[in-house]
Structure 1
Amino acid sequence: MGRGKIVIRRIDNSTSRQVTFSKRRSGLLKKAKELAILCDADVGVIIFSSTSKLYEYSSTRIISSVNRRTSILIAETSVVSVFHYSGNKLD
């Protein structure tokens, strides 16, 4: 028999909320690592706590993937800007 469903809502008790955050954060980061290994996927996770503390995981190739995607977006933006400033219409 599996676990019962829980109602997803804010936990009022701050201690319980912090404990739950820590456990779920650990589980999420573990799953991200497993996904990267098992599926050879580029995985990146960024988590900010309620106190603005940063927790992150990234597979080794995610930085190059983000840089590649950023370069593509910059190139696309440059092309659109050239058309916009020259008065040409994009179809």
Structure 2
Amino acid sequence: MDARSGSPGPSGSPSPDASAPEAPDAPEEPTASPDPDEADPSDAPDSPPADPPGPGGPQEPTTAPAPPPPAPAEPTPDPTPSPTCTRFLWWCV
């Protein structure tokens, strides 16, 4: 008698391998969860919607945008200073 035939073994209980021939394609059953890239967002209760409605409109991203660079402490010197001023005397007009 074949142990994988599903018939009870010598002890009266089915052998551990009895389920192997009954479901050879168990991972490919239709009840298995679909691939993440093929999953429909409405079918996935764990994943939040792409744009959840907020009380004041769409929610802002959790990361704050980078602040703008600080302004220079000194004004930029005039590219064409007057003849009486040097490049070190940028406040001359």
TM-score interval (norm. to shorter): under 0.3
In terms of Rg, which structure is larger?
A: 2
Q: Tell me the TM-score normalized by structure 1.
A: 0.24
Higher helix share: 1
Bigger RCO of structures 1 and 2 (CA < 8 A, at least 6 apart): 1
Higher strand share: 1
